[in-house]
Amino acid sequence: MKKSISTIIKHSSFSKINRSANPAVVRASTILFDSMQELASHEKKILLDKPITHYAYGRYGSQTTIELQKIVKELEQAHHVFLHSTGFGSVSLAFMALCQSGDEVLVGDNVYYPTREITEKLLPKYNIKTKYYDPNNIKDLESKITKKTKLIFVENPGSITFEFQDLIEIIKLAKKNNIITAMDNTWGTPLYFKPLLLGFDVSISSATKYFSGHSDAMGGTLAVNKKTYSKVKFCDKLLGSRLSADEAYLIIRGIRTLDVRLKAHYENTTKIVNFLKKQKKIKEVLYPHKPGSKNYKMWKKYYTGATGLLSVLIKAKSKASVLKFVNKLELFGIGYSWGGFESLAIYHDVSKSRNFYKFEKNEHLVRIHVGLEDSKDLIADLKNSLKYIK
């Protein structure tokens, strides 16, 4: 019987050994075998990429991480999924595995700040050059492709400013020029968009965010197609950054309810957006909510749903008053990350880290994650704090 993904994420990983609904937490460094012949046979299975129930050494994972890999593989419709200790660990793995000295990479100007740091500060040490392209201009991307371009790295939508790109056009350019493509898909998750099915070679998600959903675990997933599998496998094995069994268990616990939680996040977010767009102090809500706009069209073209992260563009002469707006919020915590059950708000200044996004005078960005609290309470909290903006 063919099952929907909502059913699969709830019924996979049933433990036949301890008969629990969830897999056991298997913590191990040394894995024991009955004989040298059994060990050799197991190593051969791994070499030939045959299914295994455990690894030969704890650095590669455990039965618990294997179960998480199975679930994410179904979600992503991937050839294989690699797990890392953080979402950014997966981003780093993509660059280190897919690039080499002398290469050039094209990176969206709107990527997550640590991604920008690795391209600006680390890759040059290995003689890898980065060019940033305008996420709102496919012609700009095309004009920067050279014979040395080996990777196009996309984050969609863009961090903080939420530009939605025409992804199929990027893939067409990449295939025409034999360039590998990777996408950070943390915002939409593979529940709402599957990059590999569209034609991307690599799909990255920070499992810290919506996969976990409880703000108590960190992890990253990197899903690949057959084309990139060997390169990523080689680098993944040698770098030794591994997701622990405990973190894997917590992420599995969270991913069971991914579909239900994202639906609730979106319902709350829709109500919050409808409130914010009517407020005179809010110049723009950066979220795909306006039919006819480019961002809305691109979101509708590729995604089957939307999540709870957005930004608001505030026009205010006083930066201090915008900070006060954030500080006075009672139900929106001030902190990094997002994707958990709770609402968050944080001030961001990206004016010095962007080549193409232009701020007008007295414009300020506040990123908001809409959690699972009662939407009426969240709106009342926002309404009360907006009065502090001058």
Domains and CATH numbers, the chain: 78-244 (3.40.640.10), 258-386 (3.90.1150.10)
- Whole-number pLDDT of residue 16: 61
What does the pLDDT read at residue 14? 56
Measured from the Cβ of residue 313, the count of other Cβ atoms closer than 10 Å reads: 16
CB 248 within 8 A of CB 275: no
What residues are labeled active site?
A: 59, 112, 184, 209
pLDDT for 58 equals 77
pLDDT at site 18: 66
Question: How far apart, in whole angstroms, are the C-alpha atoms of residue 300 and residue 185?
Answer: 15
From the CA atom positions of the chain, what is the Rg in Å?
Answer: 22
Residue ranges of the chain whose pLDDT lies below 50: none
Length of the chain in terms of residues written: 390
Q: What is the pLDDT of residues 132-188, one digit of tens each?
A: 999 999 999 999 999 999 999 999 999 899 999 999 999 999 999 999 999 999 999
CA–CA distance, 103 with 310 (Å, rounded to integer): 34
How many angstroms separate the CA atoms of 66 and 13, rounded?
9
Q: How far apart are CA 211 and CA 220, in angstroms?
A: 9
Q: Each residue of 306-325: pLDDT tens digit?
A: 999 999 999 999 999 999 99
Entry pTM: 0.94
DSSP-H helix ranges across the chain: 5-11, 36-47, 63-76, 87-98, 113-117, 138-143, 167-176, 189-192, 195-198, 226-239, 245-255, 258-276, 294-302, 319-328, 375-386
Residue whose pair of structure tokens reads 């701020």 in the numeric block: 359
Cα gap 331→164, rounded to integer Å: 29
Q: How many CB atoms lie within 10 A of CB 243?
A: 27
